[in-house]
Amino acid sequence: MADCLTMAAGIDDVARAAGVSTATVSRALRDLPNVSAKTRERVRAVATELGYVASPSAASLASGRTRAIGLISPWVNRWFFANIIDGAERALRARGYDVLLYTFDIQRSGERPRIDPDVLRRRVDGILVVGLPLARDELEALQGLGYPLVCIGWGGSEEATVRLDDRVIGLEAVRYLIRLGHRVIGHVTGTPDDVHPWSPPADRATGWREAMTEAGLEPDAGLMESGGFEVSGGRASVKALLARHPDLTAVFAASDEMAMGAILGLRDLGLRVPEDVSVMGVDGHELGELVGLTTMSQPVDEQGWAAAELVLDMINGKTPPRRVVFPARLVERTSTAAPRGVAS
């Protein structure tokens, strides 16, 4: 075996050893046409023998393609994001693409450093933006790079998008609570106010509002509070909600993590779930079962995978569907029940 440290075989080492030109080596190894079967075989054998691997930098420079995808996510340590990243990375690697990870904080204040598109310039062939509702100018700057871009978990009709029907999720969740007999239903949303009309928290809130309205209930602004998609935020939100609406009997949180935070907050207050207040979330978090969390469960691996396929198709000039919408399904557990005094 060759000493990997001292000598890294180059394409012309292979060419020389195989008795062909570097062009033929390049073609043979990339499965391009116009190489005879036996030549290809010989080149492959020699390349393996020499431990030759093409330099990605040189290949990129010459071809203009990087075989890398930029994955932009506000966090990696939150349930949804971690699972999407995991799924997308596996899908992309299976297709021979590298994944460049870029995290960008969402500040709760709404003020966040603008994403700098320059870090991605000439580094990637495509971009995946996970759950980060970008400002219009940011999105445009990113698109200005000229790479295929797909949004996961958010996005309007203009962008290639993989997401849920968040309005319907809110609608179905709150309809379920109403069926149980609840009348005063609070909503813990994800972000403060400056969110886009097509962001998941905004859509879930719309669903909540519609379900309330269609049942003749009042989706009072005081019944909504932002938990910033964090456990601690959910915990604080439910207290604020209850302070304003002591008659609250149910809470619909826009994520399981916030829902679990809400349960912690209710406990802080000495209230029981579901006897005093019912709580439900959205996600299908693995640990929801710990507290019997009722939730709208979403297929997360599939979304990561679908988004990966989508960018790659776009890179390869295909025109795949611009919008893939996955379904969520109600998982009933024990954090929700009929309010006191209502027979179920």
Partner DNA sequence: CTGTTAGCGCTTTCAT
Partner DNA sequence: ATGAAAGCGCTAACAG
Asked if 63 touches DNA (CB under 7 A), the answer is: yes
Asked if 224 touches a copy of itself (CB under 8 A), the answer is: no
d(CA 229, CA 225) in angstroms, rounded, equals 11
Beta pairing partners, 281: 295
Asked if 293 touches DNA (CB under 7 A), the answer is: no
> Which one of residues 11, 18, 150, 263 is an interface residue with a copy of itself (CB under 8 A)?
263
Token reading at 327: 């379904």
Q: How far is the CB of 139 from a copy of itself (least distance, A)?
A: 14
> Which one of residues 23, 32, 45, 119 is an interface residue with a copy of itself (CB under 8 A)?
119
Burial class (CB in 10 A: 0-12, 13-18, 19+), 290: exposed
> Which one of residues 52, 75, 79, 176 is an interface residue with DNA (CB under 7 A)?
52
Asked if 119 touches DNA (CB under 7 A), the answer is: no
Q: In degrees, to the nearest 5, what angle opens at C-alpha 40 toward C-alphas 36 and 43?
A: 140
Residues in 275-294 at the binding interface with a copy of itself, rule: CB under 8 A = 286-287, 289-291
d(CA 285, CA 80) in angstroms, rounded, equals 8
- For 339, half-sphere exposure in the C-beta direction (CA atoms, 13 angstrom radius) is 15
| x/- track of binding to a copy of itself for residues 70-109 (CB under 8 A) | -x---xxxxx--xx-xx--xx--x----xxxxxx------
Asked if 136 touches a copy of itself (CB under 8 A), the answer is: no
Residues 259 and 293 sit within 8 Å (Cβ to Cβ): yes
Asked if 246 touches DNA (CB under 7 A), the answer is: no
> Which one of residues 7, 23, 119, 243 is an interface residue with DNA (CB under 7 A)?
23
Asked if 55 touches a copy of itself (CB under 8 A), the answer is: yes
Asked if 130 touches a copy of itself (CB under 8 A), the answer is: no
Nearer to a copy of itself among residue 206 and residue 232 (C-beta): 232
End-to-end CA distance of the chain, in Å?
A: 73
Asked if 50 touches DNA (CB under 7 A), the answer is: no
Q: Which of 314, 329, 263, 325 is nearest to 293 (CA)?
A: 263
Residue with tokens 């826009």: 254
Asked if 39 touches a copy of itself (CB under 8 A), the answer is: no
Choose the contact partner of 30 out of a copy of itself, DNA, none; CB within 5 to 8 A by kind.
DNA
Which stretch, 59-67, 217-225, 234-242, 265-273, contacts DNA (CB under 7 A)? 59-67
Residues in 57-76 at the binding interface with a copy of itself, rule: CB under 8 A = 57-58, 60-61, 66, 68, 71, 75-76
Cis check: omega of the bond before 274, within 30 degrees of 0: yes
d(CA 241, CA 186) in angstroms, rounded, equals 7
Asked if 21 touches DNA (CB under 7 A), the answer is: yes
Residues 242 and 215 sit within 8 Å (Cβ to Cβ): no
| x/- track of binding to a copy of itself for residues 241-260 (CB under 8 A) | ----------------x--x
d(CA 141, CA 80) in angstroms, rounded, equals 25
Strand order in the sheet with 294-297: 224-226, 185-189, 250-253, 278-283, 294-297, 329-331
Neighbours of 204 (CB within 10 A): 29
3-state helix, strand, coil in the chain (%, to 5): 45, 15, 40
Binding site for a copy of itself (CB under 8 A): 4-5, 8, 53, 55-58, 60-61, 66, 68, 71, 75-79, 82-83, 85-86, 89-90, 93, 98-103, 118-119, 121-123, 144-146, 231, 257, 260, 263-264, 286-287, 289-291
Binding site residues, DNA, CB under 7 A: 8, 10-12, 19-24, 26-27, 29-30, 33-36, 38-40, 52, 54-55, 58-59, 61-65
